[in-house]
Chains A and B, each alone.
Chain A
Amino acid sequence: MAQMTMIQAITDALRTELKNDENVLVFGEDVGQNGGVFRATEGLQEEFGEERVFDTPLAESGIIGMSVGLSTQGFRAVPEIQFFGFVYEAMDAVSGQAARMRYRSGGRWHAPITIRSPFGGGVHTPELHADSLEGLMAQQPGLKVVIPSNPHDAKGLLISAIRDNDPVIFLEHMKLYRSFREEVPEEEYTEEIGKAKVKREGKDITLIAYGAMVHSALKAAEELEKEDIDAEVIDLRTVSPIDIETIVESVKKTNRAVVVQEAQRQAGIAASVVSEIQERAILHLEAPVLRVAAPDTVYPFSQAEEVWLPNYEDIVEKAKQSINF
């Protein structure tokens, strides 16, 4: 075991799979020599050579299109989109092409591509660097969308993603990159994609979150405890497909739920979780399932971020609203 930040755990997962499978290729803008703008690929080109870890021209559509082409030659591409806001440049390559590779070939070809990308607010980045676009990805059939909330899960989930035979969008919240360290096994291990994790057990209300919001939910649970409200916290870890079993099991126990997302409220992951809960467990509910989300505006870069972003106080408020319903 070693103490690792999430960025170190990510590098460790990449190194593990580059070692394990010679078909794994890691590439993107500034990924080679520079080791990535967040240093996620630090030292990897030196260790594995320019044929395995390399820089690309600055063109996101080209990066993902090339990944699709490499798939046909048996490679497992692990491209980086430097900031997930740049994925708009590659929307056809991701949704129109990679996600539809099995359909477009009747199953003859598949696209074992893991698209890694930093996202998320609170770190004062420029415009289109912080946006939570997981909802766009989750709506595309053929894609899986994974969002770890801690170093341990990041390593295990990234290894699973790279080994997955279909495209996986792997989103790394920038605020979590270096915010804390935890014990991460040095050996290889996997975490199952599509499985949520109960981070805190409780009996009064279920708080469902993912990414950086897991930490806000845990902090909210601590606050609620002071008022004798015992909250259960679920970390989704994968937002497509959603682990509906774990959620429903929890809600059947607590009878109340608040779903938290950093993304704008409209048409998001939380909306999807809420409808699954009401379809599957409505008779267990004591209150409407509530959402904590950002307002339906574009992300405000550097100005008003603190207010715009959902925080633990918002979660506490919604939880109380549910309890007092």
Chain B
Amino acid sequence: MSFKSPLEGIDEKFEMIQILNEDGEMVNEDAMPDLSDDDLVELMRRMVYTRVLDQRSIALNRQGRLGFYAPTAGQEASQLGSHFALEKEDFLLPAYRDVPQLIWHGLPLYQAFLFSRGHFHGNQMPEDLNAVSPQIIIGAQITQAAGVALGLKRRGKKNVAITYTGDGGASQGDFYEGMNFAGAYQAPAIFVVQNNQFAISVPVEKQSAAKTIAQKAAAVGVPGYLVDGMDVLAVYQVTKEARERAINGEGPTLIETMTYRYGPHTMAGDDPTRYRTDDMDDEWEKKDPLVRFRKYLEGKDLWSEDKENEVIEKAKEEIKAAIKKADGQDKQKVTDLISIMHDKLPYNLEEQMEEYKEKESK
């Protein structure tokens, strides 16, 4: 005889959650989030604003006016829907593509530009912003999120730690370690994997034999949800429920959002035509989170072309002002860097501080 495979039937357990379909039609009325009309409009405003920010950032990067930049278009529903479910005091641990969540969590735009340029002031989260700067090492933020969450639990706070990574991040050891730690301590953490189908160029099917990333949570006893990452309402609602469970002491959640990045991996020379086809791009663009939500809101008379243009113009103005402010920032010095390495400078850095003060005074 042969034993029945434990994987049999697993696919049905991880079916994709959707509330609005590609045409902006409500397909899951029961799951509709409890959001006011103002909230719905705000969600759309943020997505449009973020799309403009992405277009402007790419243009600024091409002009040599930004440094490191990872395009975000296509992922707005995943990024902003999940973020919209948070409270201000919740702690955010983003990956490098997750600058939009930081901005909507309270990072001033000019600092986001400074982050892109590698200026340390871009990493200095304002005092009322509970976040660390975007992580570069894939997955390192996930074990840290478990620690933040355990800390929140020990302090008796009704807040969560939320962290983001991509489909590639779900291959890292730290992904399992972080989820396993949070599960073992029933810590209030939310792990969001934005599955944009490619880890730079390697497709998700080549990363793992697992059909979904969501099911990876089951191995550590944590619930994992697969959600349509182009559907802002579905992403919002799944995150909202995860947050409620977390603050009620029911432990962490993994959320996999099925999404797509329209642009390259980063602006540092990645060419997606080497690993993606036009057909694939077209297919995903039909699922666009903005198109879908716009249709839905227009149907409810909550959105119009005028409104959208207003948001676009406002975004352009604010981006222009922020870039100007970033340009006005003093250049980072080696002495600045030395001064932030330690609480108290050791002798070697004290000596080097003198040396570089001298160099930089010339």
Contacts and interface: CB of A to CB of B under 8 A. Distances in A.
Interface in A119-134: none
Contact of A62 (B127, B178, B337, B348): B178
Interface stretch (B26-34, B45-53, B137-145, B313-321): B137-145
B346 A194 contact: yes
B125 A68 contact: no
Interface residues of A, number: 44
B144 A68 contact: yes
Contacts of B140: 65, 92-93, 96-97
A62 B150 contact: no
Nearest to A90: B143
B133 A104 contact: yes
Given A59-B180, A69-B145, A92 B120 contact: no
Contact of B148 (A59, A69, A108, A245): A69
Contacts of B124: 105-108
B148 A241 contact: no
Contacts of A67: 147
Given A59-B180, A142-B341, A244-B347, A70 B151 contact: yes
Interface residues on B, range: 35 or more
Interface string A89-109: 000110011000011111111
B174 A105 contact: no
Interface string B143-181: 111111111101100000100000000000110011011
B340 A62 contact: no
A179 interface: no
B342 to A, nearest CB: 5
- Counting chain A CB atoms within 10 Å of each CB, the highest count among B155, B161, B346 belongs to B346
B91 interface: yes
Contacts of A241: 346-348
Interface in B111-126: 120-125
B184 interface: yes
B12 interface: no
A102 B342 CA distance: 7
B132 interface: yes
Contact of A75 (B125, B151, B342): B151
Interface in A48-62: 51, 56-57, 59, 61-62
Contacts of A92: 137, 140, 174
A66 interface: yes
A165 interface: yes
Nearest to A66: B147
A278 interface: no
B343 interface: yes
B147 A57 contact: no
A42 B178 CA distance: 27
B125 to A, nearest CB: 5
Smallest CB-CB A-B distances: 5 pairs:
A69-B147, A65-B143, A73-B151, A106-B124, A62-B177
11 contacts: A61-B143, A61-B173, A64-B143, A66-B143, A72-B147, A92-B174, A97-B140, A104-B123, A141-B341, A166-B342, A245-B347
Interface of A: 51, 56-57, 59, 61-62, 64-75, 77, 92-93, 96-97, 102-110, 141-142, 144, 164-166, 194, 240-241, 243-245
